[in-house]
Amino acid sequence: MRRRIGAAVPALAGVPAAATARPPIVGVAHIAFHVSDLAKARAFYGGLLGYEEVYHLGDAARPQRVCFKINDRQLVCVLPGLPPGQADRLSHVAFETTDVAALRAYLEEKGVKASEVGTDAGGDRFVRTMDADGHAVGFVQYQPGSLVSAARGTRLGAPRISSRLLHVGLTVADVAAADHLYKDVLGFSEIWRGGRTDTQTDWINMKVPDGTDYLEYMLVTGPVDRDRLGSAHHMALLVPDIQAALETVRARPGGQDPKAVRTPQVGRNKRWQLNLFDPDGSRTELMEPFTMR
């Protein structure tokens, strides 16, 4: 007997609904720091590091946020108004996704609390959650016509110390708890771990699932003081030659300040590194792409 076209098909009892698929998470979008003096922060991120401002939010004279362009999809942002007694200067980190609405539905299905999908003042869609260590973690979907998208191909001047934000670092007190969000839910995968000695682990690198950028777990135990927080919550920029990078920053205003520009060193991953600190003590790490010869 032929079934009439358009007739309702009974639902199959006991068959679970299809799981929501996680949309791609393609890389680090930005990291944002609280700063106490916007003029000094501009001198560091715009002057010493050589990045152009892609946009600011709020009143031009007293902006709520200023973002500096590393490349067409990555920024570093500063938020003025850091209280004198606040130890942690990190505001949040954000990763780029292709579909924030689908990502929020996915997080909700996995039992992860997340904000409603919103549109920021720059015109891009975002959703935000918190990780096990209390860090604000955002996910951004760039929109056509947003301030970031409208600036594509521009404000990429030669003074940039680097054109690639390779990773961001966050303190992690409990690896298993951090892994529940980043590894089990979001699909990040471990690519390297190391420590200050051969017998301990102090850092774990977790690559985004659909790109090559990564998050660095900065393992901590007990209370973390202000100086260590400033070093742990950091961004790492890729440079082809540490010596050339050092000479570049040394020649710029503020580049001779030993508090801002440290001596290059070889990290445990056998790559040359150079640590720079903004006026509030937040670290920017410059790192070569290959192990030393």
Q: Do domains 25-150 and 165-287 have the same CATH topology?
A: yes
User: Is residue 262 scored above 70 in pLDDT?
Assistant: yes
Give the pLDDT of residue 24.
98
Give the pLDDT of residue 6.
46
Tokens read off for 53? 């401002």
d(CA 165, CA 188): 17
User: Is residue 267 scored above 90 in pLDDT?
Assistant: no
CB-count burial class (<10 Å; 0-12, 13-18, 19+) for 138: buried
DSSP H helices, the chain, are 38-42, 100-109, 147-150, 175-179, 226-232, 242-250
User: Is residue 13 scored above 80 in pLDDT?
Assistant: no
One-letter amino acid at 146 equals S
User: Is residue 3 scored above 60 in pLDDT?
Assistant: no
d(CA 158, CA 234): 23
d(CA 89, CA 36): 9
Tokens read off for 227? 């100086």
Give the pLDDT of residue 275.
98
Give the β-pairing of 125-130 and 118-119.
Answer: antiparallel
Among 93-102, 126-135, 264-273, the minimum mean pLDDT is found in 264-273
The pLDDT tens digits of the residues spanning 135-150 come to 999 999 999 999 999 9
d(CA 202, CA 184): 21
Give the pLDDT of residue 292.
80
Taking the model in full, what pTM does it have? 0.92
- Confidence band for 17, pLDDT divided at 50, 70 and 90: low
Give the pLDDT of residue 2.
45
Report, as an integer, the average pLDDT of 252-273: 94
- Confidence band for 15, pLDDT divided at 50, 70 and 90: low
The pLDDT tens digits of the residues spanning 208-244 come to 999 999 999 999 999 999 999 999 999 999 999 999 9
User: Is residue 7 scored above 90 in pLDDT?
Assistant: no
Report, as an integer, the average pLDDT of 158-182: 98
One-letter amino acid at 215 equals L
User: Is residue 58 scored above 90 in pLDDT?
Assistant: no
Higher pLDDT, 6 or 188: 188
User: Is residue 291 scored above 50 in pLDDT?
Assistant: yes
Residue range 25-150 forms a domain whose CATH class is alpha beta
3 state SS of 45 = helix
User: Is residue 4 scored above 80 in pLDDT?
Assistant: no
| Percent of the chain's residues with pLDDT above 70 | 94
User: Is residue 80 scored above 80 in pLDDT?
Assistant: yes
Q: What is the residue extent of each domain of the chain?
A: 25-150, 165-287
Q: Which of 113, 110, 143, 115 is nearest to 128 (CA)?
A: 115
Say which CATH topology domain 165-287 has.
2,3-Dihydroxybiphenyl 1,2-Dioxygenase; domain 1 (3.10.180)
Give the pLDDT of residue 14.
59
Torsion (CA) 209, 210, 212, 218 in degrees, nearest 10: -30
